[in-house]
Amino acid sequence: MKAKSPEADPDCDDNRIQRRARIALAAVCEPGEAGLANLIDMTSPTATVASLLAGRRTLVRVPRAEAIGRRLAALDLAALIDRGEEIGARVVLPGDPQWPGRLADLGAHRPLAVWCWGEANPRLHTVRSVAIVGARACTRYGEWVARDWAAQLASEQLSVISGGAYGIDAAAHRGALAVEGVTICVVAGGVDMAYPRGHEGLFAEIVERGVILSEAPLGETVRRRRFLTRNRLIAALANATCVVEAARRSGSARTASSAAEMNRPVLAVPGPVTSETSQGTHRLIHDGIATLAADVNDVRTAIDGMFVSPDPADGPDAVSASMREVLDVLPSSQTSSAGLRLEDVAVRSGALAPIALEQLECAERMGLVERRGTDGWVFRATLQRDGRV
């Protein structure tokens, strides 16, 4: 591993060393493979790196540890990090402000790190989000549904998550972009190697308004099996997954199963029984894995249902204590027409204005608060302050 040694670099505190070790591990392991994430959390990234480099296989209960150790020894971490700085891509690690907490639902298969390229904050913009996925070889009907529903949901502050592929995925991203919404593209290779090449223009737009996200390091080309591990990431990031068109055995069906395993709502769009690309969605509905989505409102309802669960304080993206302090000072949308100005929210809640704004924007994405005019904030009257209806 050709990284400067910690001793030689006075800027490197332990945290920074641990971060670099984790980025290195993420760059060389197979995404989603059980073992490494747990091992790192039980020991530390640097201890894991040391074990792997030394080939201590008894310590390392990791599949293919030897190969990982070899790749680790050959990794040019500095070049990888330089490349990120060069194009403006960043690594987000567990616990970072941008880390989407709900990735923890992947358990032992959780990613070690994600590379992000684009303006959007992956934590903030997955709080209210929907994955719209489906077949590459889709029909114009499916394309229309994906684009239309994505546009409707994105215009309501929901982020649209998909995989950047031809067909349904691209239609979903484009629908969100068409209404200047946020869209998140989860790719199987490096974020700078987004596939297919025919979508270069689309990817550039996503970087500008949304974010391209991947577990793979920069420069990594797409490999076939990575599509399947990538799909679990899409399911984990979104509140709900909606399959628009899919053949009977398909990656989208796999995304749907991943979402169902995490108890996330799964929806599927019906189509003519004569259409091959609707066979997969019909099977998901028939088998009880997905609920039939007859219109965009069915998707909306499934997502909103997540915010009225018996105890929304559970889970990493529920209303935090500091958000509640901000919410508590807001007037109700029923009693206040002008709302409370940001600086008053800050004064009354005791929070710094930028932090209060961040909480308000996050609460807005969660559907808890509304803006009034240019600088007014109200709490949505139909909800309890803890997010319950």
Q: Which residues bind a copy of itself (CB under 8 A)?
A: 141, 144-145, 269-274, 278-279, 282-283, 285-286, 291-295, 298
Burial classification of residue 240, based on how many CB atoms lie within 10 Å of its CB (0-12 exposed, 13-18 middle, 19 or more buried): buried
Q: Which two tokens stand for residue 203?
A: 């990817």
Q: Nearer Cβ to a copy of itself, position 270 or 331?
A: 270
Smallest distance, a copy of itself to C-beta of residue 302, A: 11
Smallest distance, a copy of itself to C-beta of residue 257, A: 18
369, β-bridge pairs: 379
**Closest to 365 measured CA to CA, from 357, 353, 354, 373:** 357
**Closest to 180 measured CA to CA, from 154, 200, 203:** 154
Q: In what order do the strands lie in the sheet with 90-92?
A: 90-92, 114-117, 211-214, 183-186, 159-162, 129-133, 240-243, 266-268, 291-292
CB 243 within 8 A of CB 270: no
CB 21 within 8 A of CB 52: no
Smallest distance, a copy of itself to C-beta of residue 127, A: 26
Smallest distance, a copy of itself to C-beta of residue 271, A: 6
DSSP string, 236-284: HHSSEEEE----SS-HHHHHHHHHHHTT--EEE----TT-GGGHHHHHH
- How many Cβ atoms are within 10 Å of 63's Cβ, its own excluded? 13
Smallest distance, a copy of itself to C-beta of residue 281, A: 8
Q: Nearer Cβ to a copy of itself, position 296 or 362?
A: 296
Q: Nearer Cβ to a copy of itself, position 172 or 330?
A: 172
Smallest distance, a copy of itself to C-beta of residue 235, A: 22
Smallest distance, a copy of itself to C-beta of residue 376, A: 37
Q: Nearer Cβ to a copy of itself, position 280 or 312?
A: 280
Helices (H), the chain: 14-28, 36-42, 45-54, 65-74, 77-87, 140-154, 168-178, 200-209, 224-237, 251-261, 279-286, 296-304, 321-327, 342-349, 353-365
Q: Nearer Cβ to a copy of itself, position 68 or 145?
A: 145
Smallest distance, a copy of itself to C-beta of residue 298, A: 7
